[in-house]
Structure 1
């Protein structure tokens, strides 16, 4: 491994002082170590925006305003609103911001429902299998909700597909043996090998477990060449990485808003439908998809709003939309391209410090000992990543990772864990600092050092309960 300049605490402090976006942290409410389950005073190092973003001060203000409107104006808040956000059109100020972030036209974007519901909504319209073209390509390690949802759709077409076809409908992409992430050339080969039978290719923009950013610009043309559609799950991509849905010629996509867009727990989702994409008359209609100009006339005849909004079903939830508006307004002020640039610097700094740690296991080295206490990095190098970095704690299994994770929490470093061995860390541009990167790596190293000592004391035996053991130390 090439030697790298290791940034000192002074270097990291200087990076924070020189950071043109250093003011945005004050826009958020940072949780304390104790509030996150740790021991000690001060703010936690919150590297979990890939799972749930923090509450912004403006979002709190907006929500309190909406509660006051509900309290005082009641139902008239749908039409007259003291803050200029009538509930009838609560999604209107969100649409241009969302379209800009995902690289789409405004009429191609809708703010509605939840991620999985939107998957079902769009697949009902655009998965139209025939006897010759019926397969769906999806990565085998996809988020369970995607995996379950996609598997359910071929079964809805049992009048067209035989039981054997339904059984073979899903093609699961897998990394090569001994590798953690998918190679673009391998995806393209699968598409070529099954070019006459594929109906839809469904991929994440950023893979939830490994943090891999897929090369959609290279994959989408091949999908269209074979006569199929390409859809994206952008849950871990929106607000995190540069996205160009129109330029990439993606057909449809879905996302959530509670991660990098900070809309709150289980907040509303959204979706994109390429202009002109034909649904074959298979739209699932709802009254909120009816033309807004005539919606309240309650006509028995459905007249869909042109574009993506014509696929909406029910009225837009106000209390989970308003926090999103706060983040989108902040992003517009900051400039998303500036956020992407800072994200690369933050994550790059984290990688540098991790790769120069004595606990780092370089998997490119055939002599690397993966049986020792340490960690390896699963996430690909730039540019095939966002801000999420997934590390696998070694030795894998036997409760090693949960114990290390619990020690991290105790010291105020909040990431999240994925069994059996992965800890995901995501320094978020809008509220994390470079100096937190340095402190986070020291906490990880201390947690691993204690794990080393624990395993020696216990004769190499490990407790499968993991978390329970920490409380006994």
Structure 2
């Protein structure tokens, strides 16, 4: 932690020097409010709005011809989005496709890559992953007439918030068929060492997949270089595609050409798709892992959003993100000492994703008080306040102000008027 005191003037100097400060005007932000939940749902940008309007106009003016004659032809939209996304994850474009939802895509890739045989029947996961991933893993095990209680190995956490890579590697054995882990843990914000884990797993002959939901758009990746077999992600968090925005998947090129585990209409080679044959000719690229017709109106906003990522550059985004979270931690220590808070995310830059994990026994009521004061946080049971300063639309002064609001809440006991219980949606 920094040894000097952060002042408002010092924080404003950071904003003056910020190479990304001009991007804030690209987003729709409420006056006198501070949005710290972009790791759950990113805000709407003017570019995303315009690209959605373009697809609506294409539908209005072209009807069915929009599939091939639209300004952004729908038949090739998923592939174009894959091409635009590929640089964010360090992948060749033909290995990336934007399609379906994160959980649908996970089911697709598990159906393709989880092939239990002989003594190699188990899946290695963890106890801290988002529930949907675990539901999918258990479902796929059951579909093979196996018992999840026997075949799903979940790595334990020593502190309830983080994982140790050495402990993960020690669980790898000749009985493990597939490994699935989050790149960034959704509660604590811990960034796992993807390269180290992948290399160790491959030495044991294990297929390696990662859920990038809490890292894509915030952290640079080198999936090709690291040799990851597959990955899935959503786009409505850091990628700002909108609620229910289209998901994405990556399949390493060494696996391309195989038939998808779950075949569908858009798994087809595009030149053969309308031959209407009952024998599938799968696409030769990641498009083979699509299933149904693309969701055009939930895909279109991503086109505009990705323009901003290419203009800013993912390395610049990461640099600012780390500075924002570092400032948050410094200010928490400076202003909130002795008020019952504890930081649970890793302190080291190389082990931290894009959000702060702040613990307090009254976290639920504090989050309610923050919202009343114009700050949008994110609560995760039982005691986590997640605060995500997004590089595109969060200033360093915003971070300073949020900590001052939090300090005032605690000094005045404003949270005491609320029940320390989560709402239906936390």
What TM-score comes out, normalization by structure 2 length? 0.94
Matched, 1:29 2:10: no
Matched, 1:450 2:417: no
Aligned mates of 2:258, 2:75 — CA distance in 1? 30
Equivalent position of 2:44 in the other structure: 55
**Counterpart for residue 375 of structure 1:** 341
Select between 71-80 and 336-345 the one with higher mean Cα deviation: 71-80
Aligned counterpart, 1:368: none
CA distance in 2, matches of 1:218, 1:133: 22
Q: Which segments of 5 or more consecutive residues in structure 1 lack a partner in the other structure?
A: 33-41, 361-372, 456-461, 469-473
Partner of 2:354: 387
Partner of 2:134: 147
The question of whether the paired residues in 2 share the 8 Å contact of 1:287 and 1:314 is answered with yes
From the superposition, tell whether residues 78 and 13 of structure 1 become closer, same or farther in structure 2 (CA, over 3 Å): same
For 1:169, the equivalent position in structure 2 comes to 151
**Distance in 1 (alpha carbons) for counterparts of 2:229 and 2:237:** 23
Instruction: Tell me by how many angstroms 1:174 deviates.
Output: 1.3
SS of 1:390's equivalent in the other structure is: strand
Q: Distance in 1 between the 2:2 and 2:48 partners? A: 44
Question: Which 5+ residue runs of structure 2 have no aligned equivalent?
Answer: none
Cα displacement string for residues 419-444 of structure 1 (whole angstroms, at most 9, x for unaligned residues):
11111000001111000010011111
Asked if 1 retains the 8 angstrom alpha-carbon contact of 2:36 and 2:376, the reply is yes
Q: Check the 8 A contact 1:211/1:388 in 2, yes or no.
A: yes
Distance 2:135 2:261 in 1: 21
Count of paired positions: 423
SS at match of 1:93: helix
Residues 280 and 302 of structure 1: CA distance in aligned 2, closer, same or farther (over 3 Å): closer
> Which of 370, 375, 396 in structure 2 is aligned with 1:413?
375
Q: Which of the pair has more CA radius of gyration?
A: 1
Looking at secondary structure, tell me which structure has more helix per residue.
2
After TM superposition, give the deviation of residue 339 of structure 1 in Å: 0.9
Structure 2 CA distance for partners of 1:324 and 1:375, relative to 1, 3 Å: same
Distance 1:97 1:439 in 2: 35
106, 121, 139: which one pairs with 1:119? 106
Aligned to 1:7: 6
Q: Show CA shifts across 1:371-393 (max 9, x none).
A: xx421111111211122111111
Query: Residue 277 of structure 1: CA displacement?
Result: 2.1
Conservation of the 8 A alpha-carbon contact between 1:379 and 1:389 = yes
The secondary structure found in structure 1 opposite 2:412 is helix
The answer to whether the 8 A contact 2:267-2:290 is kept is yes
Q: Choose from 161, 183, 187 the match for 2:164.
A: 183
Rounded to whole Å, the distance in 2 between the matches of 1:466 and 1:220 is 37
> Deviation of residue 206 (structure 1)?
0.6
| Residues 275-314 of structure 1 aligned to structure 2 (within 5 Å) | 275-277=253-255, 283-314=261-292
SS of the aligned residue for 2:367 comes to helix
Partner residue, 2:389: 427
Q: Matches of 1:208 and 1:466 in 2, distance apart? A: 17
The alignment's C-alpha RMSD in Å is 2.0
In the alignment, is the contact (CA less than 8 A) between 1:128 and 1:134 conserved in 2? yes
Whole-Å separation in 2 of the counterparts to 1:299 and 1:64: 35
Determine if the alignment matches structure 1 residue 98 to structure 2 residue 70: no
1:4, 1:356 within 8 Å by CA — same for their partners in 2? no
Tell me, in whole angstroms, the C-alpha distance in 2 between the residues paired with 1:451 and 1:199.
52
Partner of 2:117: 130
Which deviations, in whole Å up to 9, do the C-alpha atoms of 1:154-185 show, x marking residues without a partner? Answer: 21122xx5x5xx43111111112x46311111
Cα deviation code 1:276-297 (max 9, x no counterpart) = 2279756321121111122223
Separation in structure 2 between the aligned mates of residue 106 and residue 96 of structure 1, nearest angstrom: 5
Deviations 1:78-127 (A, max 9, x none): 1212xx31112122432222111111111111111000011111001100
> In structure 2, how many angstroms separate the alpha carbons of the residues matched to 1:454 and 1:105?
52
Q: Is the 8 A contact 1:359 1:448 kept in 2?
A: no
Could you tell me how far apart the structure 2 residues matched to 1:61 and 1:10 are?
Answer: 37
Q: Is the CA contact 2:365–2:420 (under 8 Å) kept in the aligned structure 1?
A: no
- TM score, norm. by length of structure 1: 0.85
Asked if the contact 1:272–1:308 (Cα under 8 Å) also holds between the matched residues in 2, the reply is: yes
Look up the match of 1:70. Answer: 59
Look up the SS of the partner of 1:64 in the other structure: helix
